[in-house]
Amino acid sequence: MRNPRAFLRPLAVGAPAPVSEVPFRPSRMIHFFDPSNEKMAAKVPDIAAKVDIILGNLEDAVKTEKKEAARLGLVEIAKKTDFGDTQLWVRVNSLDSPWVLDDLTTLVTEIGDKLDVIMVPKVEGAQDIHYVDRLLAQLEAKGNVKKPLLVHAILETALGVTNVEEIAGASPRMQGISLGPADLAASRRMKTTRVGGGHPGYLVRQDPTGDDLTEGRTTYQQDLWHYTIARMVDACAANDILPFYGPFGDIKDVVACEDQFRNAYLLGCVGAWSLHPVQIDIAKKVFSPSKEDVEHAKTVVEAMGDGSGAVMINGKMEDDASCKQCLVMLDLARELAERDPELKELYAL
C-alpha cells in the first residue's frame, strides 16, 4: 500500500505534481474519432467546436495496419488544431497490446501539454492504474510536460467490475470511469451481440390472471446495465471522480440511445460517448438539466433557506436531502451555463 502522505507527490523526478481534485469541466459527450480515417480527421476542428470532449481513438475500431497511422495522425491533429476549451482525450491501446508503450511514449512526449486525459481500456485492477501512473510520470518528466495528465478507465471485464472501487481510488490521476458494455458482455459470457443498450429477451412478465399462461400478460424489458452503472457511479462518487455511460452502438436507433443515456444521467453519470455525429446532440440534450428541473431546483433552494426544516411545495415535502439534490442540479446547470450561452439564457441563472 502507498504511503497516504505521498499520494500527491510526483512519481518521477521532474514530473508535475498530481491534482488534488478532478477539475470539473462540461463532459456531456466524449466524441470518438479515428485519427487514421482522413474523412473523420478532416471534420475534427468543426466537431471539436460542438462537443465537450473530443477523443482520438487508437484502440478497438482502428484496424491493425492503421495503428501507427492513427497515433501519428493524432499527434499531427493535436499540434495544428486549437481546441479552445474543448478537452482533448486519447484512448490508447490496451496494456497487453504491442502498441500501448509506443502510444504513451509518443503522445506524452509530443503532445503531452495538449492532452487532458488518457483513457485506458480493459482496466482490471489498481495494478493497471499504478503501472500507467508511474510510466506517465516518467514520460511527463522526459517531455517536460507542465500539467499532469489525468487517467480514465474503461470498465469492460468481469474482473474490472469486481475491482471497481480500488480502480477508482488507485491514483490522484483518476478522472473517471466509463462502462464498456461490449467487451464486458463478452468477458461475462453474456449471450448478447450488441454494443450497449437493452435486449428484448431480458424482461419480466406480468402474473397470469387465469389458467391461460399466454394471454394478456404484459412484458417489461429490463435494463441489462443497471447493476454495473450503479456500482460504477458509487465507486466514482465515493472517490470524487466522474462516471460516464459508454457507447451505444445502434447508431440509427436515436430513440433508444436517448433512453439509455437518460437512464445513466438519472443514475449519476455526467456524460456518454458519441460514436457518430448524430449522437452528439442526444448527449447534449440528455446530460443538460431541463429548464423545468432547474426552475424547480431554484424554487426549492429559495424556499429552504439554510436547508433545515421541512416545507411543502406543490403537495410535496421538501427537506435538507431534497434540497441537496436540487443543489446538485443547480451546480451542474451553472457550470454548463458558464460555457453555453443558450443554456445560460434558458436557465436564467
Ligand X SMILES: CC(C)(COP(=O)(O)OP(=O)(O)OC[C@H]1O[C@@H](n2cnc3c(N)ncnc32)[C@H](O)[C@@H]1OP(=O)(O)O)[C@@H](O)C(=O)NCCC(=O)NCCSC(=O)C[C@](C)(O)C(=O)O
Question: What residues line the site for ligand X (CB under 6 A)?
Answer: 32-34, 39-40, 43, 47, 57, 60-61, 154, 156, 180-183, 195, 246-247, 251, 275-277
Identify which of residues 18 and 160 has a Cβ nearer to ligand X in the complex: 160
- Neighbour tally for 182: CB within 10 Å: 18
Q: Applying CB under 5 A, does 124 fall inside the site for Mg ion?
A: no
Task: Tell me, residue by residue from 134 to 173, as one string, x for binding to Mg ion by CB under 5 A and - for no binding.
Answer: ----------------------x-----------------
The smaller minimum CB distance to ligand X, of residues 92 and 137, is found at 92
Q: Which does 271 bind (CB under 5 to 8 A by kind): Mg ion, ligand X, none?
A: none
Separation between Cα atoms, residue 118 and residue 148, nearest integer Å: 11
Question: At closest approach, how far in Å is the CB of 251 from ligand X?
Answer: 6
Min CB(256)–Mg ion separation in Å: 20
Helix (H, G, I), strand (E, B) or coil at 148: coil
Nearest position to Mg ion, beta carbon? 183
Q: How many CB atoms lie within 10 A of CB 169?
A: 18
Other C-beta atoms lying within 10 Å of the C-beta of residue 206: 10
The β-bridge relationship of strands 53-57 and 29-33 is: parallel
Residue 261: strand, helix, or coil:
helix
Judged by beta carbon distances under 5 to 8 A according to partner kind, the member of Mg ion, ligand X, none in contact with residue 203 is: none
145 vs 167 by CB, closer to ligand X: 167
Distance CA 28, CA 242 (A): 11
CA distances from 144 to 108, 116, 270 (A): 9, 15, 32
What minimum distance in Å lies between the beta carbon of 62 and Mg ion? 12
Q: How far is CA 273 from the centre of its chain?
A: 7
In terms of CB distance, is 16 or 125 closer to ligand X? 125
Q: What are the cell numbers at 318?
A: 421538501
Pairing of the two strands 219-221 and 203-205: antiparallel
- Alpha-carbon distance of 73 to 68, in angstroms, equals 8
Complex with Mg ion: residue 180 or 198, whichever CB lies closer: 180
183 near Mg ion (CB under 5 A): yes
**Contacts of 87 by beta carbon, 8 Å cutoff, 6+ apart:** 25, 27, 52, 53, 54, 116, 117
Of 111 and 177, nearer to ligand X (C-beta) is: 177
The CB-of-106 to ligand X minimum distance in angstroms stands at: 20
Q: Name which of 57 and 86 has its Cβ closer to ligand X.
A: 57
Question: Is 133 a binder of Mg ion (CB under 5 A)?
Answer: no
Nearest distance, CB of residue 178 and ligand X, angstroms: 7
Q: Which residues bind Mg ion (CB under 5 A)?
A: 156, 180, 183
